[in-house]
Amino acid sequence: MMFLFEGREKLAKRPSWLDLLRSLIGASLSIALLMMLSHWSGHLWIMAPFGASCVLLYAAAQSPLAQPRNVIFGHLIAATVGLVMLKLFGSNTFSIAFAVGISICAMQYFRCVHPPAGANPLVILLTANTVHYDWSFLIFPVLSGAICLVLIAYWVNNFKNSNAWPHYALALKESKIKE
């Protein structure tokens, strides 16, 4: 157990100043825009898991978990599962636990795993007694907010960056190119 604290591990490479600046600007701009859109439109465009999505989009943009398909469909699938569980079983230990498990399985099946989306069923089911959720929640904030995050990440992650982002977009049909 002491090996965990002895410091023999090799840390990840320190990011460049430009990468740090890109993360600062990207995450701040993403959250600020979603907050302003919420204020101006009267629709909710933001939810807590989007903060974690920003971590992936700006600090680990090359990860498969941070690709547009994963961000958009991961959030949409997990929120849908949360709403279905809420409508069918209400908010209880069983529905909360299985909603998270089903969300993960569904994201794996549809090949769009996005870890921050795993929090969507928790957000929905743990706040269901104080917030009224209907199916429009899937549009505002889930889909609209996720699309905004991806659009901003596209702009920020490709600004003066030799690592083009994304590696794949929505991948609605499989490529015939063999890798």
| φ, ψ dihedrals at 158, nearest 5° | -105, 0
What domain range includes position 152? Answer: 16-157
State yes or no: cis peptide before 15, omega within 30 of 0: no
Q: Provide the whole-model pTM.
A: 0.92
The answer to whether residue 132 is domain-embedded is yes
pLDDT of 160 reads 86
What are the C-alpha distances in Å from 28 to residues 22, 33, 168, 177? 10, 8, 24, 37
Q: How confident is the model at residue 107 (pLDDT cuts 50, 70, 90)?
A: very high
Q: 42: which DSSP letter? A: S
**Residue 164 placed within a domain:** no
How does residue 3 score in pLDDT terms, banded at 50, 70 and 90? low
Q: 51 and 68 in contact (C-beta within 8 Å)?
A: no
Q: What is the mean predicted confidence (pLDDT) over 8-28?
A: 92
CA 35/CA 41 separation, integer angstroms: 10
pLDDT of res. 174: 75
Is residue 5 situated within a structural domain?
Answer: no
Structural domains in the chain (count): 1
- Average model confidence (pLDDT) for the chain? 94
